[in-house]
Amino acid sequence: MKYSVPVLSLYFILVIILITGCTKYAKDGHMKQPGIALTFDDDRIDNWYQYLPFLDSFGVKATFYVCKYNRFTPEQKQKLSVIQNHGHEIAFHSLNHYNMPDYVYKYKYTLDELINNEVVAGLNLMNRDGFYPVTFAYPYGAHNDIIDKKLMRYFKSVRALNGTSDFAKSLAPTQKNDLLFGLGIDKSSKRTDESVLQLIKSAADNSNCAIFVAHDINTSIKLSVTKERLRKMFTHVNQLGLQYYTISEISN
Ligand SMILES: [Zn+2]
């Protein structure tokens, strides 16, 4: 049977639509530019501030998830502002650093009390000083679906921790993520430099963004990442031509 010209054109158009549709889908599933997102948690402003020149020297843009803002001194607030002005993201890590599921299910506060006491109250204090966090990290990484959903009304994404040996869980596949799992790189994580560098390589190979979590930079406590490890990571990132993402840049 012979096809008429209009039928053939229609077929041709249909094929084009399918091809462009597929291509678009593939792009959505990967980062345009692979990279890493380095995050720091808690309230160690003085320590982070001290290492700003070190981060700058490698062109690093990081995300600092801040808690206990109500205890910051005016000088620490000033330092936080300087950190932000260096291109880093100031994000939120709750007000008092409670385990959020425990707050509700063990200590019997309502979900609304949790949000008001630990989120809204802290955000208000920060907003008053010109900080507007749009992403959140859970204290201790403790979370569940119900709290995730509730927090999505306030934040573009929430970050938990990757407590598994499945490192791929810490690879964000697109630039529009709402739940992220950071891989711990502090001394307490007991991870080797090789395994950390391998995740960076995987991000490059798969066009993803690798998410890392640390606390202090180069102090004696266990929740601290060594300067040597950071230097190895940054050198690897820069050699592979990866980009540094802040968390809001890869959030929904
Ligand atoms: Zn924390």
Q: What is the pLDDT of residue 31?
A: 86
Q: What is the pLDDT of residue 28?
A: 42
- pTM for the structure as a whole: 0.88
Ligand 1 centroid–CA 97 distance in Å is 6
Q: What is the pLDDT of residue 5?
A: 57
Mean pLDDT per 10-residue interval, the chain, length 252 residues: 58 50 40 95 98 98 98 98 98 98 97 98 98 98 98 98 94 94 98 97 96 98 98 98 98 94
Distance CA 2, CA 188 (A): 72
Ligand 1 centroid–CA 43 distance in Å is 8
Ligand 1 centroid–CA 131 distance in Å is 19
Q: Which of these, 175, 156, 169, 157, lies nearest to 27 by C-alpha position? A: 175
Q: What is the pLDDT of residue 30?
A: 79
Ligand 1 centroid–CA 176 distance in Å is 24
Q: What is the pLDDT of residue 22?
A: 35
Cα 177 to Cα 60, 152, 234: the distances in Å are: 21, 11, 23
Q: Identity (one letter) of the amino acid at 80?
A: L
Q: What is the pLDDT of residue 13?
A: 52
Pick the CATH number of 32-250 from 3.40.50.300, 3.40.50.10490, 3.20.20.370, 2.40.50.140: 3.20.20.370
Q: Which of these, 55, 24, 21, lies nearest to 40 by C-alpha position? A: 55
Q: What is the pLDDT of residue 32?
A: 86
Segment 57-74, tens digit of pLDDT: 999 999 999 999 999 999
209-214 vs 171-172, strand pairing mode: antiparallel
